[in-house]
Structure 1
Amino acid sequence: MGKLIELGVVGLFISAFLAATILPVSSEIILTTLLLNGLSPVTLVLVATVGNVAGSLVNYALGYWASLGVIKKWLRMSESEFVRAEQRFTKYGMISLCFAWVPIIGDPLTVMAGVLRIPLLWFLVLVTTGKLLRYIVVSYMVLHFS
Protein backbone atom coordinates (compact mmCIF):
# COMPACT_ATOMS: atom_id res chain seq x y z
CA MET A 1 0.00 0.00 0.00
CA GLY A 2 2.84 2.37 0.80
CA LYS A 3 4.12 2.34 -2.79
CA LEU A 4 0.64 3.10 -4.13
CA ILE A 5 0.27 6.02 -1.73
CA GLU A 6 3.66 7.38 -2.86
CA LEU A 7 2.36 7.37 -6.44
CA GLY A 8 -0.46 9.78 -5.51
CA VAL A 9 -3.34 9.89 -7.98
CA VAL A 10 -1.66 7.26 -10.18
CA GLY A 11 -1.49 4.94 -7.17
CA LEU A 12 -5.14 5.67 -6.45
CA PHE A 13 -6.09 4.77 -10.04
CA ILE A 14 -4.13 1.51 -9.82
CA SER A 15 -5.63 0.56 -6.46
CA ALA A 16 -9.16 1.42 -7.61
CA PHE A 17 -8.66 -0.61 -10.80
CA LEU A 18 -7.34 -3.63 -8.91
CA ALA A 19 -10.04 -3.33 -6.23
CA ALA A 20 -12.69 -3.87 -8.92
CA THR A 21 -11.13 -7.22 -9.78
CA ILE A 22 -10.90 -10.24 -7.50
CA LEU A 23 -7.64 -8.97 -6.01
CA PRO A 24 -7.88 -7.97 -2.33
CA VAL A 25 -6.92 -4.31 -2.70
CA SER A 26 -8.61 -1.44 -0.87
CA SER A 27 -8.82 1.79 -2.80
CA GLU A 28 -10.51 3.46 0.18
CA ILE A 29 -7.28 3.38 2.21
CA ILE A 30 -5.36 5.13 -0.56
CA LEU A 31 -8.21 7.61 -1.11
CA THR A 32 -8.40 8.41 2.60
CA THR A 33 -4.65 8.95 2.90
CA LEU A 34 -4.55 11.23 -0.13
CA LEU A 35 -7.58 13.21 1.07
CA LEU A 36 -5.98 13.71 4.48
CA ASN A 37 -2.82 14.92 2.74
CA GLY A 38 -4.78 17.73 1.09
CA LEU A 39 -5.16 16.52 -2.48
CA SER A 40 -8.23 17.71 -4.38
CA PRO A 41 -11.32 15.70 -3.38
CA VAL A 42 -12.90 16.23 -6.81
CA THR A 43 -9.81 14.95 -8.61
CA LEU A 44 -9.46 11.99 -6.26
CA VAL A 45 -13.11 10.98 -6.56
CA LEU A 46 -12.95 11.17 -10.36
CA VAL A 47 -9.69 9.21 -10.58
CA ALA A 48 -10.93 6.52 -8.17
CA THR A 49 -14.23 6.22 -10.04
CA VAL A 50 -12.59 5.93 -13.46
CA GLY A 51 -10.10 3.36 -12.18
CA ASN A 52 -12.77 1.31 -10.45
CA VAL A 53 -15.10 1.35 -13.46
CA ALA A 54 -12.18 0.35 -15.71
CA GLY A 55 -11.54 -2.65 -13.46
CA SER A 56 -15.22 -3.57 -13.65
CA LEU A 57 -14.97 -3.43 -17.45
CA VAL A 58 -12.31 -6.15 -17.25
CA ASN A 59 -14.81 -8.30 -15.33
CA TYR A 60 -17.54 -7.52 -17.87
CA ALA A 61 -15.21 -8.49 -20.74
CA LEU A 62 -14.30 -11.72 -18.97
CA GLY A 63 -17.99 -12.56 -18.62
CA TYR A 64 -18.70 -11.58 -22.19
CA TRP A 65 -15.85 -13.44 -23.90
CA ALA A 66 -14.55 -16.17 -21.59
CA SER A 67 -15.96 -19.65 -21.28
CA LEU A 68 -18.08 -20.43 -18.23
CA GLY A 69 -15.37 -22.81 -17.00
CA VAL A 70 -12.78 -20.03 -17.02
CA ILE A 71 -15.18 -17.64 -15.31
CA LYS A 72 -16.03 -20.11 -12.54
CA LYS A 73 -12.35 -20.86 -11.98
CA TRP A 74 -11.38 -17.17 -11.94
CA LEU A 75 -14.16 -16.30 -9.50
CA ARG A 76 -13.65 -19.53 -7.56
CA MET A 77 -17.33 -20.35 -7.95
CA SER A 78 -18.96 -23.76 -7.90
CA GLU A 79 -21.72 -24.56 -10.38
CA SER A 80 -24.40 -23.96 -7.72
CA GLU A 81 -22.85 -20.62 -6.68
CA PHE A 82 -22.74 -19.55 -10.31
CA VAL A 83 -26.42 -20.48 -10.80
CA ARG A 84 -27.38 -18.54 -7.64
CA ALA A 85 -25.44 -15.47 -8.83
CA GLU A 86 -27.21 -15.66 -12.19
CA GLN A 87 -30.59 -16.02 -10.46
CA ARG A 88 -29.89 -13.01 -8.19
CA PHE A 89 -28.87 -10.90 -11.16
CA THR A 90 -31.95 -11.96 -13.09
CA LYS A 91 -34.19 -11.35 -10.06
CA TYR A 92 -32.95 -7.84 -9.32
CA GLY A 93 -32.15 -6.87 -12.90
CA MET A 94 -29.73 -4.34 -14.24
CA ILE A 95 -30.29 -1.93 -11.35
CA SER A 96 -28.23 -4.32 -9.23
CA LEU A 97 -25.19 -3.00 -11.12
CA CYS A 98 -25.45 0.16 -9.00
CA PHE A 99 -24.14 -2.08 -6.21
CA ALA A 100 -21.09 -3.32 -8.11
CA TRP A 101 -18.94 -1.57 -5.47
CA VAL A 102 -20.16 -3.84 -2.65
CA PRO A 103 -17.46 -6.27 -1.49
CA ILE A 104 -17.94 -9.95 -2.34
CA ILE A 105 -21.02 -9.48 -4.57
CA GLY A 106 -19.74 -6.68 -6.82
CA ASP A 107 -17.23 -8.67 -8.87
CA PRO A 108 -19.65 -11.50 -9.70
CA LEU A 109 -22.31 -8.91 -10.63
CA THR A 110 -20.04 -7.29 -13.19
CA VAL A 111 -18.95 -10.64 -14.62
CA MET A 112 -22.57 -11.81 -14.78
CA ALA A 113 -23.48 -8.62 -16.68
CA GLY A 114 -21.03 -9.70 -19.36
CA VAL A 115 -22.29 -13.29 -19.38
CA LEU A 116 -25.87 -12.06 -19.79
CA ARG A 117 -24.81 -9.57 -22.48
CA ILE A 118 -26.16 -6.51 -20.67
CA PRO A 119 -25.77 -3.56 -23.08
CA LEU A 120 -22.41 -1.89 -22.44
CA LEU A 121 -23.92 1.62 -22.22
CA TRP A 122 -26.31 0.56 -19.44
CA PHE A 123 -23.49 -1.28 -17.70
CA LEU A 124 -21.32 1.84 -17.74
CA VAL A 125 -24.08 4.18 -16.58
CA LEU A 126 -25.20 1.98 -13.67
CA VAL A 127 -21.76 0.86 -12.49
CA THR A 128 -20.35 4.39 -12.74
CA THR A 129 -23.30 5.84 -10.82
CA GLY A 130 -22.89 3.42 -7.94
CA LYS A 131 -19.12 3.71 -7.74
CA LEU A 132 -19.14 7.51 -8.04
CA LEU A 133 -21.68 7.85 -5.23
CA ARG A 134 -19.67 5.48 -3.05
CA TYR A 135 -16.47 7.51 -3.50
CA ILE A 136 -18.33 10.77 -2.85
CA VAL A 137 -19.75 9.39 0.41
CA VAL A 138 -16.38 7.99 1.52
CA SER A 139 -14.68 11.32 0.74
CA TYR A 140 -17.34 13.31 2.55
CA MET A 141 -17.05 11.11 5.63
CA VAL A 142 -13.25 11.34 5.65
CA LEU A 143 -13.21 15.11 5.26
CA HIS A 144 -15.99 15.86 7.72
CA PHE A 145 -15.46 13.25 10.42
CA SER A 146 -11.64 12.99 10.60
Structure 2
Amino acid sequence: MEWLLDLGYLGLFLGTFLAGTVLPLSSDVLLIGMLAAKADPAVCLVVAAVGNWLGAMTSYWLGWYARWEWLGRWFGVRPETLEKQKVRVDRFGVWLAPFFWAPVIGVVFMIALGIYRVRPRTTAFMALAGSFARFLFWVLLHRAFV
Protein backbone atom coordinates (compact mmCIF):
# COMPACT_ATOMS: atom_id res chain seq x y z
CA MET A 1 0.00 0.00 0.00
CA GLU A 2 3.03 2.23 0.20
CA TRP A 3 2.76 2.99 -3.51
CA LEU A 4 -0.68 4.48 -2.87
CA LEU A 5 0.78 6.81 -0.25
CA ASP A 6 3.44 7.83 -2.78
CA LEU A 7 0.63 9.08 -5.03
CA GLY A 8 -0.55 11.50 -2.34
CA TYR A 9 -4.20 12.52 -2.40
CA LEU A 10 -4.81 10.59 -5.62
CA GLY A 11 -3.47 7.46 -3.91
CA LEU A 12 -5.67 8.12 -0.90
CA PHE A 13 -8.69 8.45 -3.18
CA LEU A 14 -7.87 5.30 -5.16
CA GLY A 15 -7.11 3.29 -2.03
CA THR A 16 -10.23 4.34 -0.17
CA PHE A 17 -12.33 3.78 -3.28
CA LEU A 18 -10.99 0.24 -3.69
CA ALA A 19 -11.39 -0.44 0.04
CA GLY A 20 -15.07 0.51 -0.31
CA THR A 21 -15.53 -2.32 -2.80
CA VAL A 22 -14.94 -6.03 -2.31
CA LEU A 23 -11.16 -5.65 -2.22
CA PRO A 24 -9.54 -6.23 1.18
CA LEU A 25 -7.70 -2.94 1.67
CA SER A 26 -7.52 -0.79 4.78
CA SER A 27 -8.57 2.76 4.09
CA ASP A 28 -7.91 3.64 7.74
CA VAL A 29 -4.22 2.82 7.35
CA LEU A 30 -4.03 4.95 4.20
CA LEU A 31 -5.63 7.91 5.94
CA ILE A 32 -3.35 7.64 8.97
CA GLY A 33 -0.35 7.31 6.65
CA MET A 34 -1.31 10.50 4.86
CA LEU A 35 -1.87 12.33 8.14
CA ALA A 36 1.47 11.08 9.45
CA ALA A 37 3.08 12.46 6.27
CA LYS A 38 1.72 15.89 7.25
CA ALA A 39 -1.00 16.07 4.59
CA ASP A 40 -3.83 18.54 5.13
CA PRO A 41 -6.35 16.86 7.48
CA ALA A 42 -9.39 18.60 5.93
CA VAL A 43 -8.42 17.55 2.40
CA CYS A 44 -7.66 14.02 3.61
CA LEU A 45 -11.06 13.84 5.29
CA VAL A 46 -12.92 14.87 2.14
CA VAL A 47 -10.84 12.74 -0.24
CA ALA A 48 -11.05 9.62 1.96
CA ALA A 49 -14.77 10.00 2.70
CA VAL A 50 -15.74 10.58 -0.92
CA GLY A 51 -13.44 7.86 -2.27
CA ASN A 52 -14.69 5.27 0.21
CA TRP A 53 -18.31 6.31 -0.33
CA LEU A 54 -17.98 5.98 -4.12
CA GLY A 55 -16.49 2.51 -3.63
CA ALA A 56 -19.42 1.54 -1.41
CA MET A 57 -21.89 2.90 -3.94
CA THR A 58 -20.17 0.85 -6.63
CA SER A 59 -20.92 -2.22 -4.51
CA TYR A 60 -24.50 -1.02 -4.10
CA TRP A 61 -24.97 -0.65 -7.86
CA LEU A 62 -23.36 -4.03 -8.49
CA GLY A 63 -26.03 -5.47 -6.23
CA TRP A 64 -28.74 -3.41 -7.92
CA TYR A 65 -27.88 -4.81 -11.35
CA ALA A 66 -27.22 -8.37 -10.16
CA ARG A 67 -29.79 -11.00 -11.01
CA TRP A 68 -30.87 -13.46 -8.35
CA GLU A 69 -30.23 -16.35 -10.71
CA TRP A 70 -26.62 -15.15 -11.17
CA LEU A 71 -26.08 -15.26 -7.42
CA GLY A 72 -27.27 -18.85 -7.37
CA ARG A 73 -25.22 -19.93 -10.34
CA TRP A 74 -21.96 -18.13 -9.56
CA PHE A 75 -21.95 -18.04 -5.77
CA GLY A 76 -24.18 -20.95 -4.82
CA VAL A 77 -26.72 -18.73 -3.06
CA ARG A 78 -30.08 -20.47 -2.86
CA PRO A 79 -33.32 -18.53 -3.48
CA GLU A 80 -34.50 -19.46 0.04
CA THR A 81 -31.41 -17.78 1.49
CA LEU A 82 -32.11 -14.62 -0.49
CA GLU A 83 -35.71 -14.54 0.74
CA LYS A 84 -34.58 -15.05 4.33
CA GLN A 85 -31.99 -12.29 4.07
CA LYS A 86 -34.54 -9.94 2.49
CA VAL A 87 -36.51 -10.02 5.75
CA ARG A 88 -33.40 -8.87 7.62
CA VAL A 89 -32.54 -6.18 5.11
CA ASP A 90 -36.14 -4.94 5.17
CA ARG A 91 -35.94 -4.76 8.96
CA PHE A 92 -32.90 -2.47 9.05
CA GLY A 93 -33.05 -0.94 5.55
CA VAL A 94 -30.96 2.17 4.97
CA TRP A 95 -29.62 1.99 8.54
CA LEU A 96 -27.19 -0.65 7.28
CA ALA A 97 -25.56 1.83 4.88
CA PRO A 98 -23.56 3.90 7.43
CA PHE A 99 -21.79 0.70 8.49
CA PHE A 100 -20.58 -0.31 5.03
CA TRP A 101 -17.00 0.15 6.22
CA ALA A 102 -17.22 -2.74 8.70
CA PRO A 103 -14.75 -5.45 7.65
CA VAL A 104 -16.19 -8.22 5.45
CA ILE A 105 -19.85 -7.68 6.34
CA GLY A 106 -19.95 -4.03 5.23
CA VAL A 107 -19.63 -4.77 1.54
CA VAL A 108 -22.30 -7.45 1.97
CA PHE A 109 -24.58 -4.75 3.43
CA MET A 110 -24.11 -2.53 0.38
CA ILE A 111 -24.57 -5.33 -2.12
CA ALA A 112 -27.68 -6.51 -0.26
CA LEU A 113 -29.11 -2.99 -0.18
CA GLY A 114 -28.62 -2.89 -3.94
CA ILE A 115 -30.02 -6.36 -4.57
CA TYR A 116 -33.17 -5.55 -2.62
CA ARG A 117 -33.42 -2.10 -4.22
CA VAL A 118 -33.42 -0.17 -0.96
CA ARG A 119 -33.96 3.57 -1.58
CA PRO A 120 -30.91 4.70 -3.60
CA ARG A 121 -30.80 8.37 -2.57
CA THR A 122 -31.28 7.69 1.12
CA THR A 123 -28.81 4.81 1.00
CA ALA A 124 -26.26 7.06 -0.69
CA PHE A 125 -26.76 9.81 1.89
CA MET A 126 -26.50 7.41 4.84
CA ALA A 127 -23.38 5.78 3.40
CA LEU A 128 -21.75 9.19 2.86
CA ALA A 129 -22.61 10.21 6.43
CA GLY A 130 -21.13 6.97 7.76
CA SER A 131 -17.98 7.41 5.69
CA PHE A 132 -17.54 11.01 6.79
CA ALA A 133 -18.09 10.14 10.47
CA ARG A 134 -15.63 7.27 10.29
CA PHE A 135 -12.81 9.35 8.81
CA LEU A 136 -13.60 12.35 10.99
CA PHE A 137 -13.03 10.07 13.98
CA TRP A 138 -9.54 9.18 12.69
CA VAL A 139 -8.66 12.79 11.87
CA LEU A 140 -9.71 13.98 15.32
CA LEU A 141 -7.90 11.09 17.01
CA HIS A 142 -4.75 11.90 15.06
CA ARG A 143 -4.98 15.58 15.98
CA ALA A 144 -5.44 14.69 19.64
CA PHE A 145 -2.16 12.78 19.75
CA VAL A 146 0.03 14.87 17.44
Judge same fold: TM > 0.5, yes or no. Answer: yes
**Maintained 8 Å contact 1:63/1:112:** yes
- Superposition TM-score, scaled by structure 2 size: 0.87
**Maintained 8 Å contact 1:85/1:108:** no
Whole-angstrom CA distance in 2 between matches of 1:49 and 1:73: 34
| 2:117 equivalent in structure 1 | 117
**Maintained 8 Å contact 2:97/2:110:** yes
**Alpha-carbon distance change, 52 to 137 in structure 1, aligned in 2, over 3 angstroms:** same
* Matched residues, number: 145
Question: Following TM superposition, where does structure 1 have runs of at least 4 consecutive aligned residues deviating by more than 3 angstroms?
Answer: 69-74, 76-87
**Maintained 8 Å contact 1:62/1:71:** no
Whole-angstrom CA distance in 2 between matches of 1:77 and 1:13: 33
Structure 2 matches for 1:1-146, cutoff 5 A? 1-71=1-71, 78-79=77-78, 82=82, 85-145=85-145
**Alpha-carbon distance change, 64 to 108 in structure 1, aligned in 2, over 3 angstroms:** same
1:28-72 Cα offsets, whole Å, 9 max, x none, are 111101101111111101001111111111111111112224446
One-letter code of the match for 1:59? S
Determine which structure has more spread, i.e. the larger CA radius of gyration.
2
Question: Could you tell me the percent identity over the aligned residues?
Answer: 28
- Superposition TM-score, scaled by structure 1 size: 0.87
**Alpha-carbon distance change, 53 to 72 in structure 1, aligned in 2, over 3 angstroms:** farther
**Maintained 8 Å contact 2:98/2:128:** yes
1:63-93 Cα offsets, whole Å, 9 max, x none, are 111222444678x574376555433322222
Structure 2 portions without partners, runs of 5+: none
1:90-121 Cα offsets, whole Å, 9 max, x none, are 22222121211211221011111111112221
Structure 1 portions without partners, runs of 5+: none
